[in-house]
Amino acid sequence: MEKKGVKIAAQNRKAYHDYFVEDKYEAGIELSGTEVKSIRAGTLNLKDAYCIAKNGEIYIHGMHISPYEHGNIFNRDPDRPRRLLMHKREILRLQAMAQRDGFALVPLSVYFKNARVKIEVGLCKGKKNYDKRDSAAKRDAKREIDRAMKSRGQ
């Protein structure tokens, strides 16, 4: 019996800091069995991960999945490129968009959906330093407003 629902395994918070997320796509990923067990244990890192679309396929680079401790000979290279599974027309559309100036394909999160590992890929445009400062200022202002509202309510 398969488990229903969505369980987030990892998120790439740095991506939201460094990029404007224009569009989000869901993709499957080609993994070995020990990699899935390692992801279930929560030992993966998306911090410096990025995606490359070429020849009608999308690969994720820089995603680190630590070796499964009970995996012995079945463990694979933790930093190897992994193929993402999407429909051909989605891949071609993303490939065309990623070649435009300033756009990048960035993995935003890894999660389990109905016992399958899925990746949320964002079509992102890079932020400049002043954009990062602006979004930090907005976040701080919102935090101050929420704090003031909470103290008034008591």
- Given pLDDT bands bounded at 50, 70 and 90, which one contains residue 86? very high
42 within domain boundaries: yes
What local confidence, expressed as pLDDT, does residue 153 receive?
A: 67
d(C-alpha 49, C-alpha 15), whole Å? 9
What does the pLDDT look like over 122-133, one tens digit per residue? 988 887 877 788
149 within domain boundaries: no
d(C-alpha 110, C-alpha 54), whole Å? 22
H or E segment and range at residue 123: strand 116-126
41 within domain boundaries: yes
**Is the pLDDT higher at 61 or at 68?**
61
151 within domain boundaries: no
- Given pLDDT bands bounded at 50, 70 and 90, which one contains residue 154? low
Q: Give which of 32, 24, 25, 65 is closest to 47, Cα–Cα.
A: 65
58 within domain boundaries: yes
**Range of the structural domain that residue 46 is part of:** 6-127
What local confidence, expressed as pLDDT, does residue 77 receive?
A: 76
Q: 45 and 63 in contact (C-beta within 8 Å)?
A: yes
Place of tokens 């109905």: 114
Percent of the chain with pLDDT over 90: 19
Q: 29 and 54 in contact (C-beta within 8 Å)?
A: no
Kindly report the CATH number assigned to the domain that includes residue 114.
Answer: 2.40.280.10
What local confidence, expressed as pLDDT, does residue 118 receive?
A: 92
Q: 21 and 120 in contact (C-beta within 8 Å)?
A: no
- Model's pTM, two decimal places? 0.76
What local confidence, expressed as pLDDT, does residue 1 receive?
A: 46
Domains held by the chain: number: 1
Average pLDDT over residues 86-101: 88
H or E segment and range at residue 38: helix 33-40
What local confidence, expressed as pLDDT, does residue 71 receive?
A: 67
For the record, the structure tokens of 142 come out as 């919102």
98 within domain boundaries: yes
140 within domain boundaries: no
What local confidence, expressed as pLDDT, does residue 80 receive?
A: 87
What does the pLDDT look like over 8-59, one tens digit per residue? 888 888 888 888 888 899 999 998 788 888 888 888 888 888 898 888 899 9
77 within domain boundaries: yes
